[in-house]
A and B are shown apart, each in its own frame.
Chain A
Amino acid sequence: MTRKPSLVLNRRQALLAAGAGAATLAMPTVLRAQDKSLKVGVYGGYFKDSFDTNIFPEFTKATGIAVESVAEPTGEAWLVQLEQAGRAGVAPADVSMMSQVAMRKGLQTELWQPLDPAKIGNFDAILPPFTVKYDDGRVAGVGAVAWYITLVSNTDAFPEAPDSWATFWDADKKDKLGLLALVSNSFLLEVTAKTFFGGTDILSTDDGILKVMDKLAELKPNVQLWYRDEAQFEQALKSGEIPMGQYYHDVTGLAAADGFPVRSTFPKEGGISDSGCWAVTKASQKLNLATTFIDYMTQPEIAGLLARKVGTAPVLKRDVLDLTDKEFAAVSSEIEPIVPRYDLYVEKSDWLNQKWTELIVG
């Protein structure tokens, strides 16, 4: 789901905020000189700042379309705003970056205007999990950015890199793990299912989910910290206070490059892949401009730019990209990822949340 802005800036955000601050002074977000303009909703904070700095000016230069970027609030408030605006016929944004769960919720109310794949040059290069379609096959959203949550560890505490998520369950990990606190952002049900039950299909039934939760409950003694705030775990991981856990692949890589004793590992079961889509709300009158925007954003060069400047994983196939192996490894992996069962978080959100809270609090 959505990556939440951290309570405390982590290093990457701080660096970027500094750069964005300087850039904002020189250049207003809205380029009024242009006749054609497009309102683009992006997660507020890190994403918006980096898009404003690195991506949107290039787009305006290439297409002559001015971009007014709108900061999306966290949670699903943006979806609610789009729904309400849709009924009123006014669009707070033409194109929005939406979480996978929000995309699926929008499908139910036909919130998204269908996109024409023919007008998106690299549509076929987009990896299938990143495209969201209506039941009848119409395209509702196209992959925008992706990121991985992987198995991270402190290299001082664990000289050998672990190779499987199963290592979390080992007795010697007592009080050593830091895991995300919410069912909808940790995706630990999928991890457990893939690691011990041969895949995420078991999650299709309530009984299956409860069985997976029982397995997950065995993990509790090993968890020192159930975190909501990224910076708290990042700090603890770097110092070795909490030497193992799940965390973002890109940020961990940056910390390692800075000399901190941390590593990010794609276990053999795969890293957890999460992503956002570009989608056009039905209230927008600018489907054509929006399609031009999406077409631009799905070019391999732009995916490369995003990988290098923003640190997100490409949603395109590896072979069309101009990334070096090192650049690719910094943001992604060719091991088949664990793809979250987003449908669960749409259909069973409250039930899952209740069971999950009982699981870890109880």
Chain B
Amino acid sequence: MSAPARTNASGQAALAFPAVMLAAFFVVPFGLMIAVSFFSREQGGFYTPVLTTANYQRFLSWFFADILLFSVGLSALVSAVCLTIGAPFTYLLSRLPRRSQVPWLVAMMAVLSLSEVIIGFAWSTLLSRTAGLSNLFVAIGLMDGPEAWSPSFTAVLCGMVYQAFPYSILVLYPAFSRLDPSLSEAARTLGASPVRAFFNVIVPSLRNALVATFIIVFVFALGAYLLPQLLGRPQHWTLSVLITDQAVYQSNMPFAAAMAVFLVASSLILVLLSTMFGGRREAK
């Protein structure tokens, strides 16, 4: 008699743990952030728990709209580039014999262990005028003189794609390696060239994995605040950079929180849109 009851209780206990974790590490901090975003900033002090919408009013300007748009656009571009390179890369990787896959995967994971700072410094050196790649091009006669390619938008993009690329492989790899290899073979026997088979068959059957990768890289890129500083000019600074400035350097927590709420909200909207877009095809 007691056996089913006990199972039930332990089942609930098992659910309770993730629920507590979710509450402790997501709901509570996020709730606090929303609360702080409505508090009054005390210039020359910190903040007082007096409700105000001033922080949101300050954000609602063309200036910040522009920056938010740039941040979202940059993250989407990083995601798109990661997918464009990552999907064919992972596909070819998953077709290799398992033994040859290992070194590639280890190399990818090694990049994951690099901190944003190291990646930023490495790319700024690689793209610099004094020690960068352009010297190589000068040496082989492709360019007349070395140029500084960092800071620039391209440098920010390169750094962020480099940093996010292993994550995209990490998400894509299981799906690609589970994929029935005869799918693309079937497409080829039906008359599709290998490239066509990849786009007609492989890409659509991995739609969910691709959408998931896009979202993960997108959210990841949206949070980047060091690379845009290290590799970009001020016009390439993302909202995350400005949030950091407000929180760390200005001690303006309410405004930082309000900006963060906007950032989280806009990324949630994009995630929802892309899952809806992904789901509609599925239901058809």
Direct chain A–B contact by Cβ atoms under 8 Å: yes
Binding site for B on A (CB under 8 A): 7-8, 74-77, 79-80, 83, 104-105, 108-109, 175, 181-182, 184-185, 224-229, 231-232, 235-236, 239-241, 346-350, 353-354, 357-358, 360-362
B67 at interface by CB-CB < 8 Å: yes
30 CB contacts below 8 A, A to B, read: A8-B117, A75-B248, A79-B46, A80-B45, A80-B46, A80-B251, A83-B46, A105-B44, A105-B45, A109-B45, A181-B229, A224-B151, A225-B151, A228-B229, A232-B121, A232-B124, A235-B121, A241-B130, A241-B148, A346-B43, A347-B43, A349-B43, A349-B250, A350-B41, A350-B252, A353-B246, A357-B242, A360-B234, A361-B67, A362-B235
- Complex-state Cα separation, A104 to B226, whole angstroms: 31
Residue in B41, B120, B233, B247 whose beta carbon sits within 8 Å of that of A226 in the complex: B233
Residues of B within 8 Å of A75, CB to CB, are: 247-249, 251
B167 at interface by CB-CB < 8 Å: no
Residues of A within 8 Å of B252, CB to CB, are: 349-350, 353
| Other A-B pairs beyond A349-B44, A350-B250, 13, CB < 8 Å | A74-B248, A75-B247, A80-B46, A229-B230, A232-B121, A241-B131, A346-B44, A349-B250, A349-B252, A350-B252, A353-B245, A353-B246, A361-B235
The closest CB in chain A to the CB of B41 belongs to A350
The closest CB in chain A to the CB of B70 belongs to A361
Residues of B within 8 Å of A7, CB to CB, are: 117, 226
- Complex-state Cα separation, A236 to B131, whole angstroms: 10
How many contacting A-B pairs (Cβ < 8 A)?
88
Residues of B within 8 Å of A348, CB to CB, are: 43
Q: Which residues in window 126-162 of B have CB below 8 A to A?
A: 128-131, 148, 151
Query: Nearest chain A CB to B219's CB is how many angstroms away?
Result: 23
The closest CB in chain A to the CB of B248 belongs to A75
- Complex-state Cα separation, A225 to B131, whole angstroms: 17
Query: Nearest chain A CB to B231's CB is how many angstroms away?
Result: 10
Query: Nearest chain A CB to B121's CB is how many angstroms away?
Result: 7
The closest CB in chain B to the CB of A359 belongs to B234
Residues of B within 8 Å of A104, CB to CB, are: 44
- Complex-state Cα separation, A291 to B78, whole angstroms: 57
Tally of B interface residues using CB under 8 Å:
35
Chain A interface main SS type: helix
| Contact string against A for B residues 223-259, beta-carbon threshold 8 Å, 1 for contact and 0 otherwise | 0001001100111010000100111111110010000
Query: Nearest chain A CB to B234's CB is how many angstroms away?
Result: 4
Q: Are A347 and B44 in contact (CB under 8 A)?
A: yes
The closest CB in chain B to the CB of A238 belongs to B130
Residues of B within 8 Å of A347, CB to CB, are: 43-44
